[in-house]
């Protein structure tokens, strides 16, 4: 092999390496710019959350310092609301179940037409 073929091979290899490095540098630069944009958005959201946390922090009253009778009344009210919601959900489930079980085929003719046909 002549000496200039080695020169051509190494030139192509070096140019390929430089092209690959340029491509990856551009790819990495775009990723860093995108990460910077996301970090800026994250900082804005963190600022908004910290302002909201400061607003909420002013209204906090520890339950240890509250009146025991008042806390007991609030707890009883909460339990009553939960029991009412639980009973409402149960009533809705029972109502749906009755619709599924106690359906008159004559009231829904297209759905139960095969039951009403005489053979």
Q: For 32-64, how does the pLDDT look when each residue is reduced to its tens digit (9 = 90+)?
A: 999 999 999 999 999 999 988 887 776 667 888
- 10 and 24 housed in the same domain: yes
Report the domain count for the chain. 2
Q: How far is CA 7 from CA 21, 68, 97, 115, 116, in A?
A: 21, 91, 85, 90, 92
pTM for the predicted model, two decimal places: 0.41
| 17 Cα distance to chain centroid | 43
- 50 and 72 housed in the same domain: no
Structural domain boundaries enclosing 71:
63-119
- Phi and psi of 5, rounded to 5°? -65, -35
- 111 and 67 housed in the same domain: yes
Rounded distance between C-alpha atoms, residue 69 and residue 75, angstroms: 10
pLDDT in tens, 55-99: 777 666 788 888 889 999 999 999 999 999 999 999 999 988 887
Among residues 26, 43, 60, which one ends one of the domains? Answer: 60
């Amino acid at each position: 092999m002549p000496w200039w073929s080695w020169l051509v091979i190494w030139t192509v290899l070096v140019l390929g390496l430089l092209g690959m490095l340029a491509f990856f540098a551009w790819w990495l630069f775009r990723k860093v710019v995108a990460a910077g944009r996301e970090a800026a958005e994250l900082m804005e959201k963190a600022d908004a959350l910290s302002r909201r946390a400061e607003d909420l922090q002013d209204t906090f009253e520890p339950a240890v310092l509250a009146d025991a009778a008042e806390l007991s009344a609030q707890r009883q009210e909460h339990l009553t609301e939960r029991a009412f919601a639980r009973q409402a959900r149960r009533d809705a489930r029972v109502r749906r179940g009755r619709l599924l079980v106690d359906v008159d085929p004559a009231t829904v003719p297209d759905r139960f037409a095969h039951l009403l046909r005489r053979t």
